[in-house]
Amino acid sequence: MANDVWASGLSGVQKWKRGEASAIETLEKYKQASSKENFEVQQEAILVNKSRWIHPEADFVKVNWDASLIMKLSRMGMVMIIRDEDGETLLAACDSRRNVRTPEVAKCQALWKALQVCSDLNLQKVIFEGDAKAVIMAVKCEEDDLSVVGSLIDDIRKVFKDRKDWFLQFDYREKKLCCSYIGKGCLSFN
């Protein structure tokens, strides 16, 4: 005579009890709980978190940097905005370059320019914040970068290695829309 292993209270898997709702009823309850209204509230909360600029810690400045590229013209615009812990703008600058063919090169050039300006200003405690996730990950990665921007990535890594109070972090584009708009505007300058 065989024992019913599913009926045992010690088993990790149990038979569906007849008194409980069916699987379809349980699924319907789940669908109602995660209704469109709940989804919209969750999405609003996510957008708020993505779109609010966060002040740096005391004694730090935050540098938001970005680049725009018109691939047909091989022309890029770059921008950086430096703000203190109170959110006050200390510097806003833009520049443009010709003969830039990829977005990765444009983003690296913008970060490099931000590093140069902060070095020239002798800023000691700096958080560099950008939306170029691939560039930021490449800089933070310790493996050799053999891509088109590999040598520039290596140079950027050396700067961060020498500056212990300089940090690089990713942030969503929504938090720095003004930076993106200014960067696109820089493309109109000669």
pLDDT value at 166 more than 80: yes
Mean pLDDT of 121-127: 97
The answer on 136 and 176 residing in a single domain is yes
Which residue type occupies 170?
F
Last residue of a domain, one of 31, 51, 71: 51
pLDDT computed for residue 172 by the predictor: 80
Query: Is this model's pTM higher than 0.75 or not?
Result: no
The answer on 47 and 71 residing in a single domain is no
Residue 3's pLDDT band (boundaries 50, 70, 90)?
low
Secondary structure (DSSP) of the chain: ----TTT-TT-SS-PPPTTSPPHHHHHHHHHHHT-HHHHHHHHHHHHHHHHS--PPPTT-EEEEEEEEEETTTTEEEEEEEEE-TT--EEEEEEEEEES--SHHHHHHHHHHHHHHHHHHTT--SEEEEES-HHHHHHHH--S---STTHHHHHHHHHHHHH-TTEEEEE--GGGGHHHHHHHHHGGG--
The answer on 81 and 31 residing in a single domain is no
Question: 40, 165 in Cβ contact below 8 A?
Answer: no
The answer on 66 and 39 residing in a single domain is no
pLDDT computed for residue 142 by the predictor: 87
The answer on 154 and 116 residing in a single domain is yes
Mean pLDDT of 78-96: 93
The answer on 87 and 32 residing in a single domain is no
pLDDT computed for residue 44 by the predictor: 47
Question: 61, 82 in Cβ contact below 8 A?
Answer: yes
Domain that holds residue 41: 20-51
* Residue 10 maps to a domain: no
